[in-house]
Amino acid sequence: MTRSPGGGAVPTRIKYVGADGDGIGDHPDGSRLYVPLTVPGDVVRARPVSRRGDGWLAEIDAIVEAGSGRRPPVCVHFGLCGGCSSQHWDETAYLEWKTGRLAAALRRAGFDEPVMAPIVRGTPGTRRRMDLAVRRGTGTLLVGLHQARDSDIVDLTECAVLHPELFALIAPLRPVLSSLAAVRREASVEVNLLDSGPDVLLRSDGELTTRDRTKLTDFARALDLPRVSWALGEAMPETVCLLRPPVTMLSGVTITPPPGAFLQATREAEAAIIAAVLDGLPAKRPARARALELFSGIGTISFALAQRIRVLAAEGDEALVTACHNGINQAGLMGKLEAKRRDLARQPFQANELAGFTIVILDPPHGGAAAQMPPLAQAKVPTVIYVSCDPVSLGRDAAVLRGAGYRLEKVTPIDQFLWSARLEAVAVFRIGR
């Protein structure tokens, strides 16, 4: 174990907040201190606890002087729960920090003065995806979120981020999960709030027994859930109980997502993403113009695009592609929208394949689309619209486009991940002047 310098708490003034949401100050020996739960201008006594890069991760021992952007957090679990990192910020300062991170990442990519639309603000109590950790102890069952930088679980008694309909499931879940033989030591519960109600997926470390299945079915009936599914660890889920079709609407098309499917975290953010993508489509385009959408999921953006332009949607997850394909058939969109399975990390579209497209839209995972960017830049598709959930990976990938002669027309920040360090953004790039 690396010993911290001096061993005790030291005074420091927080100069700014970094990419992970930690305040950054100086140790008296000249090294950096990364201090979670601080804001710029805070003067704190901080206790170094472990090495981190060029400095030390530290804990607050005492707040000597509060910075002007500090406010009381809204949740009793804040500071321990790893779900939120920024509830202690004044909203104006918090939003400026998020947009500042995005602008800085784009400047590093070579776009000196990025044109930024006003940030779409997040709203408490609107998150429609819930991923709970479950751990059985001696006489107890913890259900909640992991602690910040720790594997321990915070047993949730309140949450200011989750939609109330999702949070209301936690209390009745506890006795059911506690009684299941399938939950030996650890489990997780993933819930998507669909238009038809909460869609529940249990992943356990033990096999589901016949009695377990009966209990889960009774649970679904008691809470009027459309579907409850189960999987052993990371195996493919199976349906335990289906009371009605688990469906959600995407741009007027009814979709049945697979259990645990990725949805945008809030409906408001989904609408803002779609609006920014559609706004980024070129006003003038060839009569037979085609768009390629990469990392298309269940079709969140695809179905909206198909109302404006012919679309090929590519996604690596077979279950998501199947859900999208079924929606296409039911909505009669054949010829306007095609869904195709393709592993874009191992088999990115090459420049010759991209030549026939007027527009490429990509919505990659947190790590970005590193494998796809070089052939995309080489192809010089006239318009590229990049939907990102991480300013760092967006900046890295945008630099490839900048090197190929693309200009950044506009970027729209969307605070989908409320009170966290993450930020959604939609960036529109055009080739040439």
Tell me how far apart the alpha carbons of residues 54 and 2 are, in angstroms, rounded to a whole number: 13
3-state secondary structure of 103: helix
- Determine contact, residues 404/380, Cβ cutoff 8 Å: yes
Three-class DSSP category at 2: coil
Check residue 353 and give its pLDDT. Answer: 96
Tell me, yes or no, if 84 is annotated catalytic: no
Please, are residues 10 and 28 in contact by the beta-carbon 8 Å criterion?
A: yes
Half-sphere exposure of 258 (CA within 13 A, CB side): 19
Q: What is the pLDDT of residue 291?
A: 97
Q: pLDDT tens track of the chain, all 433 residues?
A: 445 555 689 999 999 999 889 999 999 988 999 999 999 999 999 999 998 888 999 999 999 999 999 999 999 999 999 999 999 999 999 999 999 999 999 999 999 989 999 999 999 999 999 999 999 988 889 999 999 888 899 999 999 999 999 999 999 999 999 999 999 999 999 999 999 999 999 999 999 999 999 999 999 999 999 999 999 999 999 999 999 999 999 999 999 999 999 999 999 999 999 999 999 999 888 888 999 999 999 999 999 999 999 999 999 999 999 999 999 999 999 999 999 999 999 999 999 999 999 999 999 999 999 999 999 999 999 999 999 999 999 999 999 999 999 999 999 999 999 999 999 999 999 997 6
Active-site entry in 81, 159, 324, 389: 389
The structure tokens listed for 205 are 């470390």
Query: 210-223 and 170-179 helices cross at what angle (nearest 10)?
Result: 170
CA atoms lying within 13 Å on the CB side of residue 33: 30
Overall pTM > 0.75: yes
Contacts of 107 (CB under 8 A, 6+ apart): 114
Give the integer Cα–Cα distance in Å for 293 and 411: 18
- Rounded Cα–Cα distance for residues 390 and 270 (Å): 16
What per-residue confidence (pLDDT) applies to 1? 40
Distance between CA 139 and CA 128 in Å, rounded?
31
- Residues 333, 12: Cα–Cα separation, whole Å: 60
Nearest by Cα to 270 from 255, 257, 251, 253: 251
At 341 the pLDDT is 97
